[in-house]
Each structure stands twice: as C-alpha cells, then as structure tokens.
C-alpha cells in the first residue's frame, strides 16, 4: 500500500514537471500579464477583475498558474515531510520562495524573467531527478 501511495505522489510530481516545462516555454507571456497586472494595480489601486483583463485567455492563464503553483508548493511540502528526501525538497522550497522574492523586488522586469527562467529550469531538473530516483529505488 505504501508503494502505491508513493507512486500516486510521484505521478503528481510528473504533473508539476509538466507545469514547469509549460512555465518555461510560456514564461514570456505570463511575465507580460503579471507586469500588466502590477501596472493596473498601481494605477487603479486594486487588482483587476476578470472583465478588466485584456483577454479571457490571460485571466485563465494567470489563475491556472496560481493554482498549479499551489499544487507545486503542496507537493514539495509533502515531499519534505514524508519522503525521506528532505534535502532535495528543501532546495526546491527555497527556490520557490527565492523566485517570488526576486520577482517582487525586481518588479517583473526582464532581469527577473531571466532569473525566474533559470530557477524554473533548475527546479525542473531537480524534480526530474527526484522522480527518476523514486522510479529506480
């Protein structure tokens, strides 16, 4: 039973990796939307409503990104506490928070986009190594 739960957990990890790869390839449009959202909030004084986004696709992309980000954090926290591989997951958790802090500090400019891309590639490689290790363990 424990092996089945582990397989389900790592299958969720594959979902997280797919999200990471998507984020790497679609990062430019997501960064543009986040930058627009920040400018809108600064100008109007509140977050934009769904109808105020430039397109429905942008709104859905932002919401999907946030939702999958929550799944990524949950996956890392569960792995940290229950997998016996706390070193790898602590690096992943630290990189998630570093990415947030850097992007907030740099206000989503091109430098923060490049740094986020590097962190996302690093996390993807780390997640792949964790899952491959589980497959051969």
Q: Kindly report, residue by residue over 64-99, the tens digit of the pLDDT.
A: 878 888 888 998 898 888 887 788 888 888 988 887
Structure tokens at 104: 């907030």
Q: What is the pLDDT of residues 42-72, one digit of tens each?
A: 888 888 888 888 888 888 888 887 888 888 8
47: region left, alpha or beta (phi > 0 left; psi from -120 to 50 alpha): beta
**pLDDT score recorded for residue 108:** 61
**pLDDT score recorded for residue 137:** 65
Domain ranges of the chain: 2-136
DSSP 106: T
| Residues 124-135: b if buried by 16+ CB within 10 A, e if exposed | bebbeebbeebe
**pLDDT score recorded for residue 28:** 66
């Amino acid at each position: 039973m424990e092996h089945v739960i582990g397989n389900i957990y790592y299958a969720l990890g594959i979902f997280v990796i797919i999200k990471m790869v998507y984020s790497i390839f679609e990062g430019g449009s997501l960064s543009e939307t986040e930058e627009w959202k920040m400018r809108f909030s600064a100008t109007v004084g509140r977050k934009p409503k769904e109808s105020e986004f430039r397109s429905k696709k942008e709104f859905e992309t932002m919401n999907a990104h946030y939702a999958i980000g929550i799944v990524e954090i949950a996956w890392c926290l569960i792995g940290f506490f229950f997998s016996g591989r706390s070193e790898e997951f602590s690096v992943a958790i630290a990189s998630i928070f570093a990415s947030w802090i850097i992007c907030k500090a740099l206000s989503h400019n091109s430098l923060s986009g490049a740094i986020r891309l590097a962190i996302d590639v690093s996390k993807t490689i780390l997640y792949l190594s964790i899952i491959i290790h589980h497959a051969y363990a």
